[in-house]
Amino acid sequence: DAGVIQSPRHEVTEMGQEVTLRCKPISGHDYLFWYRQTMMRGLELLIYFNNNVPIDDSGMPEDRFSAKMPNASFSTLKIQPSEPRDSAVYFCASSPRDRGFPVQYFGPGTRLTVT
Amino acid sequence: GQNIDQPTEMTATEGAIVQINCTYQTSGFNGLFWYQQHAGEAPTFLSYNVLDGLEEKGRFSSFLSRSKGYSYLLLKELQMKDSASYLCAVRNSGGYQKVTFGTGTKLQVIP
């Protein structure tokens, strides 16, 4: 299996621009997570999906952030408009159906820089 | 809510043993993870404890005490490649698969 795939790996954009991050989870996994990692705040959960349905979006910082999962093999995280404080590494992770051992498998991340 | 505390940084010598502690406070507990993250890379799973006691996996062991809200990760026979951040993460009982991560402990292994 190819693991969790994210694109792009690096994104540099100007303040005010729209940014779209993409994720392909591991085939057969029922859960998909979006995290943001910064030096100051560590790894923060933004939102997670179960069977393509958003379950908990309480970590989404504000209305500028939105996430979708139109099917089991694809999800997007969109920031519009972007701001310099959004600069971070964004990780997508997926997890199989909970059988008491809910390990999350992380993608390589997207390093976002907003200037 | 949840509160997870880990030391920010640690240094240890190649070949030695190091223990990385994690304390947590949560309204409901349903398991604790340890992940390893090398600089510039994604976190990778190391261990999962849901019951009290020690889980051993090769050079790595993880301990949990639910009554004390305490866990540690023990790394034996340290190697240079063990230099990484180690993230403690708690799964609470109300959040299905939701996991809250600590800010991590950056371990530097020196010759």
HEC secondary structure over chain A: CCCCEEECCEEEECCCCCEEEEEECCCCCCEEEEEEEECCCEEEEEEEEECCEEEECCCCCCCCEEEEEEECCEEEEEECCCCHHHCEEEEEEEECCCCCCCCCEECCCEEEEEC
Q: Read off the pLDDT of residues A80-114 as tens digits, 9 standing for 90 and up.
A: 999 999 999 999 999 987 766 789 999 999 999 99
What mean pLDDT, rounded, does chain B reach? 93
- Say whether residue A82 is in contact with chain B using an 8 A CB cutoff: no
| Chain B residues lying within 8 Å of A107, measured CB to CB | 42
Hey, are the CB atoms on A107 and B42 less than 8 Å from each other? Answer: yes
Q: Read off the pLDDT of residues B39-57 as tens digits, 9 standing for 90 and up.
A: 999 999 999 999 999 999 9
Between A and B, how many residue pairs show a Cβ–Cβ distance under 8 A?
A: 52
- Report pLDDT for A2: 83
pLDDT at residue B111 above 60? yes
